[in-house]
Amino acid sequence: MGTFWKTYRQTILMLVGIVIGACVGLGFGEKATVLTPLGDIFLNLLLVVIVPLIFLTISTSISKINQPKRLGKVMGVIVLTFVITSLVAVFVGFLSTYFIRLVEPGDSEAILSSMAEDSGAVAEELSLLERTVGAITVGDFVNLLSRQNIIAIIVFSILFGMAMGMSGEKAKPLQNVLLSATDVVMSLIRIIMYYAPIGLGCYFASLIGSFGASIVFGYAKTFILYTVVAVLFYFVVYSLYAWIAAGKKGFIAFWKNILPPTFTSLGTCSSAASIPVNLEAARRIGVPEDIANTLIPLGTSFHKDGSIIGSVFKIMFLVGLFGTNVFTPMGAFQIIGVALIATLLVTAVPIGGGTISEMMILTMMGYPAAALPILTIIATIIDPPATLLNVVGDTGGAMLAARMAEGKDWMMKA
């Protein structure tokens, strides 16, 4: 019993906190938002450690890969994993909505007439090349210290790790310092997690209290269907990934360690805030350090199962609203392609961070920019289950990457 409590203590306490928070949210409704500051403390503590955690884990992991062949192999399997799992997600989203009308057509003119038409300034910002440059680089070193530039941080960390590896023995003192700093940051995360049951409970109370009053009938069908799809994807697809990665042993290890990232993602609605817990879960499962420390931070920006499925739902909502005919092979291909491309630009921030992605959906599908608020509402109501899939998908993806890089016995080497 003592071993059981030691193993699952954190998970049980987090679950108890979430259940109490959900009850408070349901019982007090919007009044429960008074607890938001207590939840924000937990979220802010996690977000503060994101930048040093990403830099330290990625740079030290890359620097320890002495063979260029190994580095190329790790990055290759990560990219392949992202491609395969993203395709699975987009097809699941497509099949879930293609034969179901999320909203009835006929009211689009009335809805759009009540919205601001002056959206040209947003559309002008959608230059793909400029946005790519702005995402992967910054003009000043101090800007790397902001989690708003998370992709630039990842790129810099990879390059810094490669530079340390190229420097050989001369870089050993610096590498040792960074490795020590990594251990300290991980210990700091363990300290922060002691507050997790209280923080998540308060955050969940506020979340349930707010959403319970704001979800209206017009979006209820979308929310319910997305939630059902997310739950099935969570249990079925990720169980399949774990089984493919390492058989029965992988399946057991995955479900033994995935609950803390699950609760953190649901409570915070932030992929970035879930990185520390997700890295710890991957390590406990036995994913090689260089793969976990590279894939999970990268996945926060480039691998989002929940957001991809959500993009399909947004597109199909507009298709129903405007009565668009997409029931052709070319229409289906367009939906799948737009969902994948648009989701690549979703950054690792809480609710509202997908505005650029939503504008890309409107632009590429040919809908008016005035429909942006429609997609914003959908993004808001599906954010908790979408973040859940985004976070847990990185753990499942890390296991698949380990299988491809290390062979079927990779867990034996852990």
The predicted pLDDT at position 379 comes to: 82
The predicted pLDDT at position 122 comes to: 42
How large a percentage of the chain has pLDDT more than 70?
A: 83
Average pLDDT over residues 31-60: 86
Average pLDDT over residues 226-233: 96
Q: Which of 313, 308, 289 is nearest to 402 (CA)?
A: 289
Least trusted range by pLDDT, from 63-77, 122-136, 163-177, 324-338 = 122-136
What is the domain-level CATH number for residue 82?
A: 1.10.3860.10
Least trusted range by pLDDT, from 208-212, 263-267, 277-281 = 208-212
The SS3 of residue 309 is: helix
The predicted pLDDT at position 303 comes to: 87
Could you tell me if residue 392 is inside a domain?
A: yes
Q: Is pLDDT at 97 greater than 60 in this prediction? A: yes
Residue 2's pLDDT band, with cuts at 50, 70 and 90, is: low
Could you tell me if residue 257 is inside a domain?
A: yes
Count CB atoms within 10 A of the CB of residue 248: 9
The owner of tokens 């030691």 is 6
More confident residue, 233 or 346: 233
Residue 6's pLDDT band, with cuts at 50, 70 and 90, is: low
> What is the rounded (10 degree) CA torsion for 146, 304, 267, 35?
50
What size, in residues, is the chain? 414
Q: Which of 157, 172, 198, 179 is nearest to 297 (CA)?
A: 157
Average pLDDT over residues 239-253: 95
Could you tell me if residue 206 is inside a domain?
A: yes
Residues 382, 123: Cα–Cα separation, whole Å: 24
Interval 68-80: pLDDT, tens = 677 788 889 998 9
Interval 267-317: pLDDT, tens = 888 888 888 899 999 999 999 988 998 899 888 878 889 999 999 999 998
Could you tell me if residue 76 is inside a domain?
A: yes
Number of domains in the chain: 1
Tokens of 96: 């879930």
The predicted pLDDT at position 126 comes to: 45
Mean pLDDT is highest, among 36-45, 185-194, 207-216, 242-251, for 242-251
Residue 118's pLDDT band, with cuts at 50, 70 and 90, is: very low
Least trusted range by pLDDT, from 122-126, 360-364, 370-374 = 122-126
- Domain interval for residue 328: 10-413
Print the SS3 string covering 176-235: HHHHHHHHHHHHHHHHHHCCHHHHHHHHHHHHHHHHHHHCCHHHHHHHHHHHHHHHHHHH
Could you tell me if residue 395 is inside a domain?
A: yes
Could you tell me if residue 1 is inside a domain?
A: no
Could you tell me if residue 5 is inside a domain?
A: no
Least trusted range by pLDDT, from 1-5, 223-227, 313-317 = 1-5
Interval 159-182: pLDDT, tens = 999 899 888 889 999 999 999 998
Q: Is pLDDT at 90 greater than 80 in this prediction? A: yes
CA distances from 18 to 22, 36, 98, 235, 327 (A): 6, 14, 34, 20, 42
Tokens of 129: 């090349």
In sequence order, what are the residues at sequence separation of 6 or more whose Cβ sits closer than 8 angstroms to the Cβ of residue 173? none
Contact 318, 367 (CB under 8 A): yes
The predicted pLDDT at position 92 comes to: 95
Could you tell me if residue 301 is inside a domain?
A: yes
The predicted pLDDT at position 354 comes to: 58
The predicted pLDDT at position 213 comes to: 47
Contact 282, 292 (CB under 8 A): yes
Average pLDDT over residues 114-135: 52
The predicted pLDDT at position 21 comes to: 87
